[in-house]
Amino acid sequence: MKHLSNDNLASLEMFLFLFFFALFGWPIITIVDRTHDSSIFIYLFLVWGIVILLIALISLSLKPSHSSHGTNEESGEG
């Protein structure tokens, strides 16, 4: 899997924040709320699930930190 650089990650996080902020915002919620009683619940559940999925994918694409790997503190030899 391709790892994200810090610059790409920061711009992606800002875009996703603004995008999902808009999806949970007032105009979109009122459009969805007008159709059916249960549609708002379904809409919020699906958008929330997509947010969680994207956060998981972003965390998997991050480069592993070298600060926690290779230390002997856990084995007591530190």
Gyration radius (Cα) of the chain, Å: 19
| Total structural domains within the chain | 1
Asked whether residue 67 is domain-assigned, the answer is no
pTM: 0.64
Asked whether residue 68 is domain-assigned, the answer is no
pLDDT in tens, 18-28: 988 988 888 88
- Scan for tokens 């530190």, then name that residue: 78
Asked whether residue 40 is domain-assigned, the answer is yes
Asked whether residue 54 is domain-assigned, the answer is yes
pLDDT in tens, 25-60: 888 888 777 767 788 888 889 999 999 998 888 888
Q: Is 4 in contact with 57 (CB distance < 8 Å)?
A: no
Asked whether residue 57 is domain-assigned, the answer is yes
Concatenate the DSSP letters of all residues of the chain into one string.
Answer: -PPPPHHHHHHHHHHHHHHHHHHTSHHHHHHHHTT-TTHHHHHHHHHHHHHHHHHHHHHHHSPPPSSSSS--TTTT--
Range of the domain at 25: 6-61
